């Protein structure tokens, strides 16, 4: 989103300056001169710089069949056309937007690209053998003459098979993967999904699949524990099919490799599969530029100061380069690899431990290397200012408003959505209707569609994938809502499919009207029920969150699913009718027109208010 596709970045050979000289842009140039520009300009700005009447430009373009105004932002083609017409040469200069290097998309000259090793993360359900597999790979001695074990200190390392390298990131579990992605860092090219052959697909298996899908990363299945008597690889493959992981032998694109991590059986087969998949991906990078990459982990070493494991993702990091990491800078004073060997340089996909940073960065921070210390310092300072500003004006990461604003700028390509519904059938229906909304410009990407309440795991996935969560007849509990607020994840709740569709369509068109939204006032849990003739069921409740008001709208929920919506009939504390009851107090209440409450049901009070 909003990426500058023309970013060139500092190249070692050309030594492009990263300094932006805004003043140069403003000075007028003479006819016959070269008009050097750096970004799209409005008609008025172009007219001023070229020193020609703006009406001449508008008239000329009108004759060319282009309707523009003085405020129209002209693209490169229009700028070029105008320059030629009015007797200027023109040249677009690419400015390195060094202070926001996370945002840029490297667009190297294809002739400079060289193959790079794939970066692999191992995921899977607990106890299915991730750690055992990681150890088996770490300790495997595939290359003759490879000396020494791998230092435990580095959470990433490379292995070589048939002359090709593979980079493994070692932090098992999904949190590392999710945490990185939620910070915008995508480091993994391939996910190896470990599934125990005697246990099959389990909740965290599905979670891992969701994460891989959301990241758009291919999945290789390692069917583990094949040495066990109960091993049933076919069952695993069948179960995976309902999660869109289709084995090659079943006509799909996912390679499944049967292994035993414990007995170290067929580890080579798995590595060969990784090479195969990486070759299909054609992973490439430009080793001739200054390095760009991501911090995998970092700590403060008592003797050596900040010590970080960096993954070089593009370019080459050389010992002595200056690094901007997060909002600090430093020098790559010493670099070592997983065998504690000192390296002079690290090429793309190489993990290295670096000493010499001024602060301990965070895992997931991006870094960029520079040749010049003052430049690195200046950029780090700028980034600090930007960060402080951002924290001050923190807004949600992914929200319909964002979609709306980005759509207005014509700037969005993809909207990730998580659907939670009251049944699998309606989840599928909502998913299908949403995916149909995809256009050439905006792809609607449903990364999870399941039945059940909205949970914290949904919020984490949403946060990692910048997704919006849509609840269809289901709700989050108070804890999940708090988590969503903390992670700045937007949860939208709907009861009617077409209302949901309309909302997204409107946002996609950049026409989101101010809407009426629901504000939850509080929740109460039903602890005891009393049947009273004439009155009906009185629910003895504990208000667990916020406040329950006698005139508010309510919904009754059972295990996160909405059972009934309506109004309260009465609200009492002890024997008295009251207007409201706050969290921490008990109350008795009836629901108008409904008597089938159960103990443990949740009553949620809400109001409809106009969104600002």
Chain residues binding ligand GDP by CB under 6 A are 124, 126-132, 172, 224-225, 227-228, 260-262
| Nearest distance from C-beta of residue 321 to ligand GDP, angstroms | 36
Nearer of residues 204 and 328 to ligand GDP, judged by Cβ: 204
Compute CA distances 467 → 399, 444, 461, whole Å: 8, 10, 8
Beta strands in 337-475 (DSSP E): 342-343, 345-346, 351-357, 366-370, 414-421, 443-451, 467-472
| Nearest distance from C-beta of residue 200 to ligand GDP, angstroms | 14
* Structure-block tokens of residue 153: 């200190």
| Nearest distance from C-beta of residue 364 to ligand GDP, angstroms | 22
Alpha-carbon distance of 375 to 393, in angstroms, equals: 27
How many CB atoms neighbour CB 492 within 10 A? Answer: 17
The strand order across the sheet containing 443-451 reads 443-451, 414-421, 467-472, 491-494
Nearer of residues 165 and 225 to ligand GDP, judged by Cβ: 225
Nearer of residues 9 and 233 to ligand GDP, judged by Cβ: 233
Name the burial class of residue 395, with classes exposed (0-12), middle (13-18) and buried (19+) by CB atoms within 10 angstroms of its CB: exposed
Nearer of residues 172 and 361 to ligand GDP, judged by Cβ: 172
Compute CA distances 93 → 17, 19, 83, whole Å: 11, 12, 15
Tell me if 167 sits within 8 A of 349, measured CB to CB: yes
Residue keyed to tokens 């500003």 = 389
Angle between helices 76-85 and 43-50 (to 10 degrees): 30
Alpha-carbon distance of 401 to 407, in angstroms, equals: 10
Could you tell me which residues are beta bridge partners of residue 339? none
| Nearest distance from C-beta of residue 193 to ligand GDP, angstroms | 11
Compute CA distances 539 → 469, 547, 555, whole Å: 31, 16, 14
Nearer of residues 129 and 356 to ligand GDP, judged by Cβ: 129
Collapsing DSSP to helix, strand or coil, 205 comes out as helix
Tell me if 191 sits within 8 A of 198, measured CB to CB: no
| Nearest distance from C-beta of residue 204 to ligand GDP, angstroms | 9
Nearer of residues 125 and 466 to ligand GDP, judged by Cβ: 125
Task: Of 178, 185, 536, 138, give the one whose Cα is nearest residue 338.
Answer: 138
Q: What is the DSSP letter of 463?
A: H
| Nearest distance from C-beta of residue 128 to ligand GDP, angstroms | 5
| Nearest distance from C-beta of residue 194 to ligand GDP, angstroms | 6
Nearer of residues 117 and 129 to ligand GDP, judged by Cβ: 129
* Structure-block tokens of residue 109: 């000259």
Alpha-carbon distance of 107 to 521, in angstroms, equals: 50
Nearer of residues 92 and 138 to ligand GDP, judged by Cβ: 138
| Nearest distance from C-beta of residue 127 to ligand GDP, angstroms | 4
Tell me if 240 sits within 8 A of 210, measured CB to CB: no
Alpha-carbon distance of 456 to 560, in angstroms, equals: 13
Nearer of residues 130 and 174 to ligand GDP, judged by Cβ: 130
Alpha-carbon distance of 580 to 425, in angstroms, equals: 38
| Nearest distance from C-beta of residue 231 to ligand GDP, angstroms | 9
| Nearest distance from C-beta of residue 126 to ligand GDP, angstroms | 4
* Structure-block tokens of residue 217: 């990363």
Tell me if 503 sits within 8 A of 584, measured CB to CB: no
| Nearest distance from C-beta of residue 236 to ligand GDP, angstroms | 13
Nearer of residues 227 and 288 to ligand GDP, judged by Cβ: 227
- For 234-253, give the secondary structure using H, E and C: HHHHHHHHCCCCCEHHHCCC
| Nearest distance from C-beta of residue 226 to ligand GDP, angstroms | 7
Nearer of residues 131 and 381 to ligand GDP, judged by Cβ: 131
* Structure-block tokens of residue 92: 């677009």
Q: Are strands 342-343 and 516-532 parallel, antiparallel or unpaired?
A: unpaired
Alpha-carbon distance of 131 to 530, in angstroms, equals: 53
Nearer of residues 152 and 374 to ligand GDP, judged by Cβ: 152
| Nearest distance from C-beta of residue 532 to ligand GDP, angstroms | 53
| Nearest distance from C-beta of residue 208 to ligand GDP, angstroms | 11
| Nearest distance from C-beta of residue 209 to ligand GDP, angstroms | 15
Nearer of residues 184 and 269 to ligand GDP, judged by Cβ: 269
Collapsing DSSP to helix, strand or coil, 556 comes out as strand
* Structure-block tokens of residue 231: 């091993």
Nearer of residues 227 and 345 to ligand GDP, judged by Cβ: 227
Residue keyed to tokens 């969150």 = 545
Nearer of residues 178 and 590 to ligand GDP, judged by Cβ: 178
């Amino acid at each position: 989103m909003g990426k500058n596709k023309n970013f060139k970045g500092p190249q070692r050979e050309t030594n492009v300056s990263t300094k932006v000289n805004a003043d140069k842009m403003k000075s007028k140039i003479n006819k016959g001169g070269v008009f050097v520009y750096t970004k799209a300009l409005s008609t008025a700005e172009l007219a001023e710089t070229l020193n020609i009447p703006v009406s001449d430009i508008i008239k000329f373009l009108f004759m060319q069949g282009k309707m523009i105004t003085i405020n129209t932002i002209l693209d490169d083609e229009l700028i070029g056309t105008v320059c030629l017409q009015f007797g200027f040469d023109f040249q677009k200069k690419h400015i390195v937007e060094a202070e926001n290097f996370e945002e840029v998309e490297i667009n190297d000259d294809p002739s400079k690209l060289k193959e790079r090793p794939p970066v692999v993360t191992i995921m899977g359900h607990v106890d299915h053998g991730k750690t055992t597999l990681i150890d088996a790979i770490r300790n495997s001695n595939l290359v003759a003459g490879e000396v020494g074990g791998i230092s435990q200190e580095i959470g990433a390392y490379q292995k070589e098979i048939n002359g090709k390298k593979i980079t493994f990131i070692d932090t098992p579990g999904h949190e590392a993967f999710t945490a990185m992605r939620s910070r915008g860092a995508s480091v993994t090219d391939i996910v190896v999904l470990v599934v125990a052959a005697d246990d099959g697909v389990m909740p965290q298996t599905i979670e891992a699949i969701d994460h891989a899908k959301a990241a758009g990363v291919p999945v290789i299945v390692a069917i583990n524990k094949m040495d066990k008597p109960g091993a049933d690889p076919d069952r695993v493959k069948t179960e995976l099919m309902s999660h869109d992981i289709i084995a090659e032998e079943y006509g799909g694109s996912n390679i499944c490799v049967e292994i035993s991590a414990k007995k170290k059986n067929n580890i080579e087969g798995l590595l060969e599969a990784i090479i195969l998949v990486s070759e299909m991906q054609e992973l490439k990078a430009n080793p001739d530029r200054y390095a760009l990459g991501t911090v995998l982990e970092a700590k403060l070493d008592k003797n050596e100061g900040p010590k970080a494991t960096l993954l070089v993702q593009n370019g080459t990091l050389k010992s002595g380069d200056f690094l901007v990491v997060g909002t600090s800078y430093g020098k790559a004073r010493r670099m070592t690899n997983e065998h504690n060997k000192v390296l002079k340089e690290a090429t793309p996909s190489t993990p290295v431990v670096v000493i010499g940073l001024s602060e301990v960065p965070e895992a997931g921070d991006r870094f960029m290397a520079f040749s010049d210390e003052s430049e690195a310092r200046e950029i780090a300072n700028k980034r600090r200012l930007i960060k402080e500003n951002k924290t001050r004006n923190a807004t949600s990461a992914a929200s319909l408003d964002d979609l709306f604003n980005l759509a207005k700028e014509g700037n969005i390509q993809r909207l990730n959505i998580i659907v939670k519904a009251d049944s699998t059938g309606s989840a599928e229906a909502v998913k299908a209707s949403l995916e149909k909304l995809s256009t050439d410009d905006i792809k609607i990407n449903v990364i999870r569609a399941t039945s059940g309440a909205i949970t914290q795991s949904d919020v984490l996935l949403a946060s990692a994938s910048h997704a919006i969560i849509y609840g269809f007849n289901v709700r989050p509990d108070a804890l999940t809502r708090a988590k969503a607020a903390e992670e700045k994840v937007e949860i939208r709740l709907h009861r009617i499919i077409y209302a949901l569709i309309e909302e997204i369509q409107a946002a996609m068109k950049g026409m989101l009207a101010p809407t009426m939204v629901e504000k939850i006032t509080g929740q109460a849990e039903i602890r005891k029920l009393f049947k009273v003739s004439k009155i009906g069921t009185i629910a003895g409740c504990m208000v667990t969150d916020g406040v329950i008001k006698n005139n508010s709208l309510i919904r009754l929920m059972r295990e996160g699913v909405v059972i009934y919506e309506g109004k309260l009939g009465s609200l009492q504390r002890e024997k008295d009718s009251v207007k409201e009851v706050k969290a921490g107090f008990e109350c008795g209440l009836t629901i108008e027109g409904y008597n089938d409450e159960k103990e443990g049901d949740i009553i949620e009070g809400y109001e409809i208010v106009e969104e600002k």
